[in-house]
Amino acid sequence: MRTSSFFSFAGFVLLIAGTYCPLLRPFGLVSWNVYDLNKPYGMVILLVAVVGILGTVLNRNGLVKLTAWLSLALVALLLLAAIMKVNTSFSFLPFKSVAGFLTKQIKFKWGWYLLFAGAVVALGGSFANKQIGNTK
């Protein structure tokens, strides 16, 4: 089996695990994961990761590359949407200082690192072409 398949598999597993990790912590009260931010979008990321794992197991390198690129794009789009949502959450308040203070109370957590690491490792594994063991 190819080494790149192991990297791609590990990347997609990290991506699935990252969807359950904390991404935002508003006001220090609760932690939100992907499914708390946007459940349908989280299901799409989960589906892309599962299809990527199936492509890795079935040795379909084209499918693995497509799902790895798609997962990276989806995670980047989710981060962009979260940043925009956090920065505009309190724009209805007439006082800019109060809105700025409340915006600073929403913290980004370590789950973003895991999501991006999973997508990048899956993408890196899909481009590696080394073979281990018996080559035919």
Tens of pLDDT, residue by residue, the chain (136 residues): 577 789 999 999 999 999 999 999 998 889 999 999 999 999 999 999 999 999 999 989 899 999 999 999 999 999 999 999 998 888 888 888 888 899 889 999 999 999 999 999 999 998 875 555 555 4
The residues, ordered by sequence, that sit 6+ positions from 75 with a Cβ below 8 Å of its Cβ are 15, 45, 115, 116, 119
| Tokens describing residue 122 | 């899956």
The residue whose two tokens read 């598999």 is: 9
The residues, ordered by sequence, that sit 6+ positions from 31 with a Cβ below 8 Å of its Cβ are 22, 23, 24, 25, 109
User: Any idea what the Cα angle at residue 27 is, between residues 15 and 33, rounded to 5°?
Assistant: 15
